[in-house]
């Protein structure tokens, strides 16, 4: 289970059974893997994760699972 945390600019990975924290990633910033006002999270049918940012962030990052940690592929704001 993935949970986006817009206050701390992180994504939390939780075990669905008991909500135990498995891992977390992200931090405040404008670079790949960082967030400014993290706002939404989605998983597509091919298990790619997308995160969206509101306000000044205004971008979508696509995440691909590599090993046990997601790796970001950034779509710049328009």
Alpha-carbon distances, residue 33 vs 38, 45, 57, 64 (angstroms): 11, 22, 12, 11
- What pTM did the predictor assign? 0.79
**Number of structural domains in the chain:** 1
What is the domain extent for residue 42? 2-75
Alpha-carbon distances, residue 34 vs 15, 20, 45 (angstroms): 23, 23, 24
* pLDDT single digits (tens) 32-60: 889 999 999 998 888 889 999 998 878 99
Pull the structure tokens for residue 57.
């962030």
């Amino acid at each position: 289970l993935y949970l986006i945390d817009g206050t701390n600019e992180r994504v939390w990975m939780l075990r669905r059974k008991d909500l135990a924290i498995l891992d977390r990633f992200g931090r405040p910033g404008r670079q790949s893997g960082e967030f400014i006002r993290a706002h939404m999270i989605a998983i597509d049918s091919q298990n790619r994760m997308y995160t969206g940012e509101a306000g000044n962030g205004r971008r979508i990052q696509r995440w691909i699972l590599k090993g046990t940690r997601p790796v970001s592929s950034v779509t710049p704001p328009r």
